[in-house]
Structure 1
Amino acid sequence: MRMEGPAGDEHAEPLDTIDLYDPTRYATGAQHRAWHRLRREAPIWPHRTGEGIPFWSVTRYREVAAVLMDDKSFSSAYGTILAVAAGDSAGGRTINLMDQPRHADVRLPTMRLMSTHTSRQRGPQVREHVRRLVAESFDAGGVVDVASLMLHLPMAAVGETIGLPVEYWAELPRWAMAGVAPEDPHYADGTPTATLTKAHHRLIAVFSELIRQRRAQPGDDVISVLLGLDYGGRPMDEREVLLNCYSFAMGAVTTTAQVASHLLLALAERPEIWRTLRAEPDLVPSVVEESLRWASPTNHLLRRTVKPVEIAGTRLEPGELVAAWVASANRDESVFPRPYEFDPRRSPNPHLAFGVGAHRCIGAPPAQVVIGLLLEEMLARLDSFEVAGPVTHLRSNFINGITSLPMDFQPVTARRAAVIA
């Protein structure tokens, strides 16, 4: 999705023409004008999916955060994305599709592997993975499709943590993206249904084999933890372990890569920020947080009411679907001054890119670490870079992705490279 904000009140999109469901709108335009209008005039607004399933959209920061925080009124077990608004077949069985107390049974034992402390400890190892990924492109210079390159960044961050051997790192990201955006031409392999089926089958085959291996020889990774955890007084069955492996991999691959691509695009379009960052490398942590707010890789999170609840003056009954538009909340003018500016010094920056509450993304720390390391490698290796061709955006109302981003890299001079070495 393009990042243009509203051009002015005279260009604001009329309420009756707003369609937040249509995936094509995210591939060909920007939804920020629509979200801006909804925040001002209709912070809760009725919509329908392409199949006619009704849902409510909430767009202001306050209501989005409240929906995501209140896991007693809003359930995740029915489904968490609009693509499965009719109900997710894995509901109640994976970490992202569970309510308490089952959610805590899975989250707490696996958090240790992705905590801030552990992620920082793994920093040197992750840096080596990042270097191997980008060194050739950055050092040689020339035109590179950044979207394809960044698609492999999440494996550098959490591939080993999840329990994925390196031989799967090259192919798995594409299968994962096909699983969340089967209608996108870049990932399509036949019809959307056929694409989705192939992606699921391939990922399931990989994890089935890895589960078999970990049963025989456990390690210190997510797969091994899932096999050994106490799941409400019993072990997980084979299907539950498999579905949760799938969920961890999908959550990592489909988000971190998109933040990185949007970050490089934002810096290329704003060379003054790149110059500032090179002069003040201590800004890297702040730029990482701003990139997360800016990209908001997960456009929405879906919840289902389990009891009567009121949102922005509207009463909802049990069983109603609510889409919390995280990407809109991260542009809320009441929380973020100049929300349509990429501000490398933004502070505070209480973005919701990782969600909030019990379901806050467990992979947040490794994502923050790997994006920071990517920036550090860029600062060490690149003088400048610019967009070198058309940018293609993902056809998805869920993931804010880029499928093609050609960029021309200008590496550091030979003299400076020798100093760095």
Structure 2
Amino acid sequence: MKITSPARDARVPLTGVDLYDPAPFREECQHTLWQTLREESPVWWQRAPNGTGFWSLTRHADCEQLLKDHRRFSSEYGTILSSVGIGDAARGKTMTVTDPPLHGQLRNPVLRKLGWAVIRRCSDQLRAEVGRVVAPLLENRKADFVELMHYLPMAMLAPMMGIPAELRAEIARWSAVSITPDEPGLTGGIDGHIAAREAHVHMLDLFGAAIKMRAGDPGDDVMTALTELLLDGEPLTEWHMALNCYSLMMGAHATTPHVASQIVAVLAERPDLWSAVRADPTLIPALVDEGTRWTSPTHHLLRRANVDTEIGGTAITEGDWLVGWVGSANRDHDVWDDPYEFRLDRGASPHLGFGAGPHYCIGAQVSKTALTVLFEILAEHVERFEVASEPTHLTSNWINGMTRMDLVVHLGART
């Protein structure tokens, strides 16, 4: 989605609004619509194409409550709109679609392998891997930046997950296809539904092979942790382990590359921001944090009501589906005075770019570190960014990303 900044009083008619349809997310910005909903109808009812109704929440307070209160609002049935009325086939099998206490049994051993101690231990390797990702851009002074960023999740997670080197390129490719099955540059032009199914099969096969290889060479990594994990006293099956590895890589692909691309798009339009960062690299963490709020890489997150309740002053019935529009919550005027401004001086920000509550992104620290390293490397070499042609955007109501952004960099040593 191209990100624009509507006027504070900008509104659109709500007649015929369809938040399920992915096409408008490719063709136009949704921020004026979300602003209208926050002001006029913050808990909005509509039906999915299969006839199942769902509530859309657009205010920060309501979205935060939805994500944090797992007792009232469950993740087990699915976390994205395509699950409405159907449910997720991996229910109860991966961290993404389980609720506490089962969620904690799966999450906590993995989280320890993605924490600060491991990040510090892998820091040199991480920097080298990220450097290899951006090397073509710095050598040729131009590249499709989106295509390069497809390899960023693998660069940041491979050492911590224990993915064998010989499988990394294939896993990176099929992970990208899983997120963007309609992108012909990745799929060879085959139908998106077929591409998505192929990606699903390939990813499970690849992670199954990786787990077998890791079993013969255990280490201090995610895959080893999964092989040693007991769930209610029973070890995970190989398929169960592969499914959780797949889920982790999908989560990384759904966030980090798109934040990087959207930040660079802003920096091309606002060279003053990049000049400030190059002059003071201690601003890079602020750039990453504000960039995550600004991008809101996942447009929405889904939950299902466990009980009869209310939210935003609206009665909710047990079994109702609710969608928290994170992209809207991160532009709420009740939280930020100037939410449509990209600022480096916000300080601690309560944005929901990595979610909230029990399902706060398990790889958030890894993502922040990888993005920080990426912009540290770029700050050393790039004086100015130039977007050579209008970027193209994903057709997705879930991921706020691009399919292509031709970037030219003007090099210059940082003083």
- TM-score w.r.t. the length of structure 1 is 0.94
Aligned to 1:362: 362
Aligned pairs (5 A) from 1:259-408: 259-408=259-408
Aligned to 2:152: 153
- Opposite residue 108 of structure 1, the aligned amino acid is N
Aligned to 1:57: 56
1:48 and 2:47 matched: yes
- Opposite residue 20 of structure 1, the aligned amino acid is L
Alpha-carbon distance, 1:46 to partner: 0.5
- Opposite residue 167 of structure 2, the aligned amino acid is Y
Alpha-carbon distance, 1:255 to partner: 1.3
In structure 2, how many angstroms separate the alpha carbons of the residues matched to 1:8 and 1:351?
19
Deviation track 1:173-216 (CA, whole Å, cap 9, x = no partner) reads 33223223434555555323211111011111101111222233
Deviation track 1:293-345 (CA, whole Å, cap 9, x = no partner) reads 01111111100011111011111111110001111111111112211111122
Aligned pairs (5 A) from 1:155-304: 155-188=154-187, 189-304=189-304
In structure 2, how many angstroms separate the alpha carbons of the residues matched to 1:54 and 1:185?
32
In structure 2, how many angstroms separate the alpha carbons of the residues matched to 1:287 and 1:32?
21
- Opposite residue 223 of structure 1, the aligned amino acid is M
In structure 1, how many angstroms separate the alpha carbons of the residues matched to 2:156 and 2:369?
8
Deviation track 1:244-278 (CA, whole Å, cap 9, x = no partner) reads 11111111122111111111111111111111111
Aligned to 1:75: 74
In structure 2, how many angstroms separate the alpha carbons of the residues matched to 1:140 and 1:178?
26
In structure 2, how many angstroms separate the alpha carbons of the residues matched to 1:124 and 1:13?
50
Task: Label 1:330 to 1:8 Cα distance change in 2 as closer, same or farther (>3 A).
Answer: closer
In structure 2, how many angstroms separate the alpha carbons of the residues matched to 1:124 and 1:362?
22
In structure 1, how many angstroms separate the alpha carbons of the residues matched to 2:172 and 2:34?
30
**Structure 2 residue matching 1:100: 3-state secondary structure:** coil
Task: Label 1:185 to 1:13 Cα distance change in 2 as closer, same or farther (>3 A).
Answer: farther
Task: Label 1:51 to 1:191 Cα distance change in 2 as closer, same or farther (>3 A).
Answer: farther
Contact kept, 8 Å, 2:164 with 2:213, in 1: the verdict is no
**Structure 2 residue matching 1:339: 3-state secondary structure:** coil
In structure 2, how many angstroms separate the alpha carbons of the residues matched to 1:159 and 1:179?
18
In structure 1, how many angstroms separate the alpha carbons of the residues matched to 2:355 and 2:364?
10
**Structure 2 residue matching 1:57: 3-state secondary structure:** strand
Contact kept, 8 Å, 1:391 with 1:406, in 2: the verdict is yes
**Structure 1 residue matching 2:127: 3-state secondary structure:** helix
In structure 1, how many angstroms separate the alpha carbons of the residues matched to 2:342 and 2:185?
28
Contact kept, 8 Å, 2:80 with 2:301, in 1: the verdict is yes
In structure 1, how many angstroms separate the alpha carbons of the residues matched to 2:185 and 2:327?
23
What are structure 2's unaligned runs of at least 5 residues?
Answer: none
Aligned to 1:23: 22
Aligned to 2:33: 34
Deviation track 1:126-182 (CA, whole Å, cap 9, x = no partner) reads 1111112213322442x2110001111111111121222233333333322322343
In structure 2, how many angstroms separate the alpha carbons of the residues matched to 1:107 and 1:50?
33
Contact kept, 8 Å, 1:61 with 1:332, in 2: the verdict is yes
Alpha-carbon distance, 1:280 to partner: 1.9
**Structure 1 residue matching 2:219: 3-state secondary structure:** coil
Contact kept, 8 Å, 2:68 with 2:356, in 1: the verdict is yes
Alpha-carbon distance, 1:122 to partner: 2.3
- Opposite residue 271 of structure 1, the aligned amino acid is P
**Structure 2 residue matching 1:410: 3-state secondary structure:** strand
Alpha-carbon distance, 1:114 to partner: 1.0
| Alignment length (residue pairs) | 413
Alpha-carbon distance, 1:239 to partner: 2.3
In structure 1, how many angstroms separate the alpha carbons of the residues matched to 2:179 and 2:136?
29
In structure 1, how many angstroms separate the alpha carbons of the residues matched to 2:183 and 2:396?
7
Contact kept, 8 Å, 2:150 with 2:176, in 1: the verdict is no
Aligned to 1:98: 98
What is the CA RMSD across the aligned residues, in angstroms?
1.7
In structure 2, how many angstroms separate the alpha carbons of the residues matched to 1:123 and 1:136?
21
Contact kept, 8 Å, 1:151 with 1:258, in 2: the verdict is no
Alpha-carbon distance, 1:285 to partner: 1.0
Alpha-carbon distance, 1:8 to partner: 5.5
In structure 1, how many angstroms separate the alpha carbons of the residues matched to 2:297 and 2:184?
19
In structure 2, how many angstroms separate the alpha carbons of the residues matched to 1:127 and 1:214?
23
In structure 2, how many angstroms separate the alpha carbons of the residues matched to 1:121 and 1:338?
39
Task: Label 1:97 to 1:29 Cα distance change in 2 as closer, same or farther (>3 A).
Answer: same
Contact kept, 8 Å, 2:122 with 2:160, in 1: the verdict is no
Contact kept, 8 Å, 2:67 with 2:355, in 1: the verdict is yes
What are structure 1's unaligned runs of at least 5 residues?
Answer: none
Contact kept, 8 Å, 2:184 with 2:190, in 1: the verdict is no
In structure 1, how many angstroms separate the alpha carbons of the residues matched to 2:165 and 2:393?
28
